[in-house]
Amino acid sequence: MARGRVLREADESVVEGSRPTAKTKDGVFFRTDSPSAMRYKHTQIGYVTGGVSLAALPLIYYASMAEDGELGVFGHSMLGGFGVLAVLFSSLTVKVTDQELVFYFGPGFWERRFALDDIVSVEAVRTSPLYGWGIRYTPHGWLYNVSGLRAVEVTVRGEEQLRIGTDEPEALKAALNRGRRGRDGGEGISWKTNRGRCAPS
């Protein structure tokens, strides 16, 4: 997959300010004079979470009208609740700066931050459809996703594993590895394949 969503030279809108950038051998651009330079940013659309919530709206409306002839308090509450869910889980944005991993749903709901120094390992994985979408606790730790089955499993020092859904897991893993390597002067994050093997960064 092309790294179209990893920061490009012309993509200044995702970098705070307009300071000079530098290019890595992978074609990633980042600020060279800021401790919080953006190395990676990607937003995945929530076709499953947002779509299901939106699809429920007309069903609730017609079901309420067919039974009572009007929406009533319950009908309005259900419509409002699913409408809010559709907005909150409409997307999942993941950012990697020189200092931390950040991700959040929709307009900024349920934001989580992890220092790159605390990230021990990163693994590209495939989740089970039985785990569902949204925010779920699974046998592999917390899962945050909005669509699809691909994810990146992150092990954080002092915490259990967590999985972040994404439609470009390899690009996110590479961005995390570069960010960690840039902070500690060459020692990258250890990474694993789905076969359980580990290799140095």
pTM score, whole prediction: 0.68
Least confident of 26-35, 37-46, 56-65, 114-123: 26-35
pLDDT category, 101, cuts 50, 70, 90? very high
Over residues 153-166, mean pLDDT: 94
What's the confidence (pLDDT) of residue 78? Answer: 73
What's the confidence (pLDDT) of residue 16? Answer: 38
3-state secondary structure of 143: strand
d(Cα 163, Cα 144) in Å, to the nearest integer?
6
d(Cα 36, Cα 95) in Å, to the nearest integer?
11
Give tens-digit pLDDT for 23-35.
Answer: 444 444 444 444 4
Q: What is the largest CA-CA distance in the chain?
A: 68
Domain with CATH 2.30.29 in the chain: 36-43+94-192
What's the confidence (pLDDT) of residue 66? Answer: 55
d(Cα 16, Cα 34) in Å, to the nearest integer?
9
Who wins on pLDDT, 104 or 28? 104
- Percent of the chain beyond pLDDT 90? 47
Q: Does the pLDDT at position 192 exceed 60?
A: no
Handedness of CA 10, 16, 22, 25 (dihedral sign): negative
Q: 104, 102, 95, 87: which is closest to 49 by C-alpha?
A: 87
Over residues 3-11, mean pLDDT: 39
d(Cα 69, Cα 62) in Å, to the nearest integer?
9
Who wins on pLDDT, 81 or 1? 81
Q: Does the pLDDT at position 19 exceed 80?
A: no
The CATH number of the structural domain formed by 36-43+94-192 is: 2.30.29
CA angle in degrees (0–180, nearest 5) for 98-16-31 = 45
3-state secondary structure of 151: strand
Residue 119, classified by CB atoms within 10 Å of its CB into exposed (0-12), middle (13-18) or buried (19+), is buried
What's the confidence (pLDDT) of residue 5? Answer: 43
For the chain, the straight-line distance linking the first and the last C-alpha, in angstroms and rounded, comes to 21
